Amino acid sequence: MENLAKLFNKLTNSEQKVFTYVYANQQKVMKMKISDLAKETFTSKTVIINLAQKLGFEGFSDLKYYLKSSKGDEDDRKVLEDLQYNLKQNIEKTFVVIEADLYKKITKEIVAAKTVYVFARGTSKAAGSYLNHLLLTIGVKCVFVDDYNLLTLVGKTLGPDELVIMISLSGNTQKILEVANIAKVKGVKSIAITSFGNNELSKICDYTLHCVSNDTETKHDDSISRIGMFIVIEMIVNCIKELNSK
């Protein structure tokens, strides 16, 4: 309706009266008959039809359709704005919890390892695959283990000169915790990429890199954004590239 308000001065007094009512009661007007609106505004059907036509519509029905469409667009914009806000918050808060010294220390561990194994489950496998690809691209020998049946089997073959990176948003993924415990027993260095806060994975691993997310309970909803994880991964890879360039 804001776009139509610029035509307000071109309306008659009666039409302005109807316009003002429609503007203030859009939800209600969407469900009204033309006779109901005329009664509510103490005008006539003719006034309402003239108003609609001056606003660029064929009649009152078209005006109501416009109101409904505008409401839908407004709802869509609100959803998009909320999504943008939440993603922006996750990104900014993830940067806040980044510890530069910790990344430098982890970078040296990764470069020194004979082989790096990346373990992930569920939607976090997308982040695991991305990390694996980037590490291989910059010359780090890396193996991505995403097969549920191979997670613990591969974990049992780990050697002391190898390193594991375990990715879990909740930090409580059972299979990932099994691998983390195996690595701990075997004396294999381990890095967790998980949500900010205390969880089981961060307690077991030697190092923890935190990301921030609105929610961390993935058991019943694994569609939660992992955008913070991708920021952590970018930080790891760029720190390695910087180290290798020296």
CATH number of residue 76's parent domain: 1.10.10.10
Question: Are 134 and 230 in the same domain?
Answer: yes
Question: Are 16 and 118 in the same domain?
Answer: no
Question: Are 45 and 157 in the same domain?
Answer: no
Rg of the chain on CA atoms, in Å: 29
- How many angstroms separate the CA atoms of 115 and 179, rounded? 16
- How many angstroms separate the CA atoms of 105 and 116, rounded? 15
- How many angstroms separate the CA atoms of 100 and 193, rounded? 15
Residue 76's pLDDT is what?
Answer: 57
- How many angstroms separate the CA atoms of 232 and 180, rounded? 19
Query: Which of 33-37, 63-67, 148-152 has the lowest average pLDDT?
Result: 63-67
Question: Are 21 and 121 in the same domain?
Answer: no
Question: Are 57 and 148 in the same domain?
Answer: no
- Check pLDDT > 80 for residue 195: yes
Identify the residue whose tokens are 């806040």. Answer: 96
- How many angstroms separate the CA atoms of 54 and 138, rounded? 65
Mean pLDDT of 58-80: 73
Kindly compute the dihedral angle of the four CA atoms of residues 55, 57, 63, 69, in this order, to the nearest 10 degrees: -100
Domain boundary among 70, 89, 108: 89
DSSP conformational letter for 10: G
Residue 68's pLDDT is what?
Answer: 78
Sheet of 142-145, strands arranged across: 142-145, 116-120, 163-168, 189-195, 207-211
3-state secondary structure of 51: helix
For residues 42 and 69, the model is more confident at 42
Domain boundary among 39, 69, 89: 89
Domain span at residue 131 reads: 97-244
User: Which pLDDT tens digit goes with each residue over 147-174?
Assistant: 988 988 998 999 999 999 999 999 999 9
Question: Are 80 and 101 in the same domain?
Answer: no
Question: Are 174 and 215 in the same domain?
Answer: yes
Count how many domains the chain has.
2
pLDDT band at 58 (very low <50, low <70, confident <90, very high): confident
- Check pLDDT > 80 for residue 23: yes
Mean pLDDT of 172-198: 93
Residue 198's pLDDT is what?
Answer: 83
Query: Which candidate, 150, 182, 147, places its Cα nearest to that of 164?
Result: 182
Mean pLDDT of 96-120: 95
Domain boundary among 33, 56, 89: 89
Residue 100's pLDDT is what?
Answer: 92
Q: Domain with 190 in it: what CATH number?
A: 3.40.50.10490
- Check pLDDT > 60 for residue 231: yes
